[in-house]
Amino acid sequence: MLRPNKDKKQKVKLTKESIRTAKGIFTYLKPYRGAFMIGWIFLILSTSAGLVFPFMMGQLLGGSSAAPTNMADSVKLINLDNINNVAILLFILFGAQSLFSYFRVVIFTNVTENALRDIRKAAFSKLIYMPMDFFNQNKVGELTSRMSSDITQVQETLKTTIAEFFRQIVIIVGGIAFIFVFSWKLALIMLATVPVMAIVAVFFGRFIRKLSKKAQDQAAESNSIIEESLMGISNVKSFTNEVFLLGKYDKNIEEIRNLNVKSGVWRGLFVSFIIFCLFGAIVFIIWQGLLMTQGPNPELSSKDFFSFIMYTIMMGASIGSLPDLYASIQKTIGATENLMNIINEPSEQQLQQGKETPVINGNVRFENVHFAYPQRKDISVLNNISFKANSNDTIALVGSSGSGKSTISSLLLNYYTINSGKIYYDDIEIQDIDLHYLRSKMAIVPQEVILFAGTIRENISFGNPDANEDQIIEAARQANALEFINSFPDGLETQVGDRGIQLSGGQKQRIAIARAIIKNPTILILDEATSALDSESERLVQDALDKLMVGRTSFVIAHRLSTIKNASNILVIQNGNIVESGTHDELIKSNGIYNNLVELQGVELS
């Protein structure tokens, strides 16, 4: 299950469970495992070459023309007495290492990018098929920014951190083996100092990581302030809420600054601690080592002493970098877990597998439907709703704001599962019908039209991607939209802006109508489809809609009652209950709520 965001912020420790979830990522590496293995071979080769480097370097630094006197030299195949030989070998070593590293980087990048492409695809195809409720519970801005930062984190790790981590471990383990060969005494001295540092370093690193995690979460929050403000920019401006939002943002970024500065101070302390102790340890070991090289019969040759020092420096650096690498890997496990949680979340697509695709003629029946939104389970939005629509009927839903009309249209589209009761399409229960199939038979002109950034043409053909030019123009004409479309210099190619911001409310509504027309649905839902139009345009569009409704089952939600006079059945809804139903004439005669509304609006009775 996807945890709510708050839990995620509190989570610092990795559990077995989270590691198990994160392991799911390997499924995405599997197709590229061949290349991945080759990458590892190159990594092992370049790491081994790196391990020989301090040895050679030491031999070069301490090299002289003296005859070999030490144990390490006596087992060597090549004569390392001569510093020229050593230098040439070093060049060969670098050549080999750079070649290995090149292939390692290229192959790891390839594997990573391939796997990430698949992960991105899997995550988006999951998101787009998530049940409606998921989007009620998760802020879209936060979700997308978290996802992209999680992906970046995984990318970094697969590409470099794993290799780096492996390299450091090999250097530490291999280095210990080497230094014991040179001098076990000096090696023990060194091991008595460095691990102490390492333990303190790990402790320090953990603490710093906690601080930066807090800052990261705060940064995500500040991003969501920006996103929400800019997405609702017209609201911000009209309510002159700029100062309020700036204040909110200021507070947030001040917090980020403080957290980061605090973690900076600790990071500084950490770095200076490492430097001081590292150099302190090196000086101490050099001092002890030099003592061993003294005298006529030294315990340690100066060449081996130099190699020893080189290993100590390399190992010191490796140990110093471990906490950061470890933290990064830990972060990646968290990020991977987030991603895998999204990918593993059941989508509508999975939930509806193996459902029926019956013939749908537009007969719809609600039987004692009760419904509450999943995140407000205690507030019942619809109570005991029962009605019947025969094929080609027009059902009007009337009622005050918040009474549950749009909710009924959401249930028709099976956005949510009802708590009790039954919904039938042509005598098949809604949950037995293939979702994709069911929705393909329906079209909605929603209360809040949102267009996609793109052209008017793209937005109309969204209703039917296979529509040809003539069909698009015809749909636009029927929706009474052709006139304004043609008045734009670019016509159908006019860009509508983000979510249709460059069009007026009425224009957007007519494009949404054209989109519904072109879909040619069996069941049509019009949720205040003409609310943004002036009465002249409304009349024209209403004409179009009247024609559109012929031969389909239509659900019309309207505040303006004049538009629903001809409905086959009018349902008057109050607080989630159907309180009256019947035709216009019947309801007028019964002299109830509907009649009152009609009188209030002064609808002419024909």
Footprint on this chain of ligand ATP (rule: CB under 6 A): 136, 373, 376, 381, 399, 401-407, 447
Q: With respect to ligand ATP, which residue has the nearer C-beta, 171 or 381? A: 381
Q: With respect to ligand ATP, which residue has the nearer C-beta, 327 or 558? A: 558
Q: Which of 221, 247, 250 is nearest to 236 (CA)?
A: 247
Any long-range contacts for 235-238 (C-beta under 8 Å, 24+ apart)? none
Shortest Cβ 380–ligand ATP spacing (Å): 10
Q: With respect to ligand ATP, which residue has the nearer C-beta, 266 or 373? A: 373
Q: Which string of b and e fits 147-173 if b means at least 16 CB within 10 Å?
A: bebbbebbbbbbbbbbbbbebbebbbe
Shortest Cβ 384–ligand ATP spacing (Å): 15
Structure tokens at 526: 């019009």
Phi-psi region of 575 (alpha: psi -120 to 50; beta: other; left: phi over 0): left
Stretch that binds Mg ion, among 267-275, 369-377, 406-414, 535-543 (CB under 5 A): 406-414
Return the bridge partners of 370, or none.
420
Q: Strand order in 382-389's β-sheet?
A: 382-389, 364-371, 420-425, 428-429
> What is the secondary structure of 443-486 as a DSSP string?
EEE-SS--PPSSBHHHHHHTT-TT--HHHHHHHHHHTT-HHHHH
CA–CA separation, 284 vs 280, rounded Å?
6
Shortest Cβ 37–ligand ATP spacing (Å): 49
Q: Which of 142, 150, 141, 161 is nearest to 123 (CA)?
A: 150
Shortest Cβ contact with Mg ion: which residue? 406
Q: At what angle do helices 140-156 and 184-231 cross, to 10 degrees?
A: 150
Q: With respect to ligand ATP, which residue has the nearer C-beta, 114 or 574? A: 574
Q: With respect to ligand ATP, which residue has the nearer C-beta, 390 or 574? A: 574
Q: Which of 555, 557, 576 is nearest to 418 (CA)?
A: 576
| Alpha-carbon radius of gyration of the chain | 36
Shortest Cβ 407–Mg ion spacing (Å): 8
Shortest Cβ 577–ligand ATP spacing (Å): 12
Q: With respect to Mg ion, which residue has the nearer C-beta, 72 or 396? A: 396
Check residue 406 for interaction with Mg ion (CB under 5 A). Answer: yes
Task: List the single partner that 136 binds among Mg ion, ligand ATP, none, CB under 5 to 8 Å by kind.
Answer: ligand ATP
Sign of CA dihedral 464, 467, 471, 476: positive
Check residue 352 for interaction with Mg ion (CB under 5 A). Answer: no
Return the bridge partners of 389, or none.
364
Q: With respect to ligand ATP, which residue has the nearer C-beta, 289 or 399? A: 399
Residues touching Mg ion: how many (CB under 5 A)?
2
* Helix or strand holding residue 547 (H, E): helix 535-549
Shortest Cβ 571–Mg ion spacing (Å): 14
> Residue holding tokens 């009790």?
420
Shortest Cβ 396–Mg ion spacing (Å): 14
CA terminus-to-terminus distance, the chain: 57
Q: With respect to Mg ion, which residue has the nearer C-beta, 185 or 559? A: 559
Shortest Cβ contact with ligand ATP: which residue? 406
Shortest Cβ 399–ligand ATP spacing (Å): 6
Task: List the single partner that 401 binds among Mg ion, ligand ATP, none, CB under 5 to 8 Å by kind.
Answer: ligand ATP
Report residue 171 CA to chain centroid gap: 36
Return the bridge partners of 397, or none.
557, 571
Task: List the single partner that 402 binds among ligand ATP, Mg ion, none, CB under 5 to 8 Å by kind.
Answer: ligand ATP
Shortest Cβ 146–ligand ATP spacing (Å): 22
Structure tokens at 341: 């949680």
Shortest Cβ 404–ligand ATP spacing (Å): 4
Task: List the single partner that 404 binds among Mg ion, ligand ATP, none, CB under 5 to 8 Å by kind.
Answer: ligand ATP
CA atoms within 13 A on the CB side of 349: 10
Shortest Cβ 412–ligand ATP spacing (Å): 12
Q: With respect to ligand ATP, which residue has the nearer C-beta, 267 or 559? A: 559
Alpha helices in 70-128 (DSSP H): 71-74, 83-128
Shortest Cβ 2–ligand ATP spacing (Å): 18
CA–CA separation, 131 vs 417, rounded Å?
10
Stretch that binds Mg ion, among 54-62, 398-406, 451-459, 580-588 (CB under 5 A): 398-406
Three-state SS string over 300-366 comes to CCHHHHHHHHHHHHHHHHHHHHHHHHHHHHHHHHHHHHHHHHHHHCCCHHHHCCCCECCCCCCCEEE
Sign of CA dihedral 60, 62, 66, 67: negative
Q: With respect to ligand ATP, which residue has the nearer C-beta, 143 or 476? A: 143
Stretch that binds Mg ion, among 255-263, 404-412, 455-463, 505-513 (CB under 5 A): 404-412
Shortest Cβ 408–ligand ATP spacing (Å): 7
- 8-state DSSP, 242: H
Cβ atoms 344, 21 nearer than 8 A: yes
Shortest Cβ 350–ligand ATP spacing (Å): 22
CA–CA separation, 260 vs 266, rounded Å?
10
Binders of Mg ion among 431-450, rule CB under 5 A?
A: 447
Task: List the single partner that 97 binds among Mg ion, ligand ATP, none, CB under 5 to 8 Å by kind.
Answer: none
Binding site for Mg ion (CB under 5 A): 406, 447
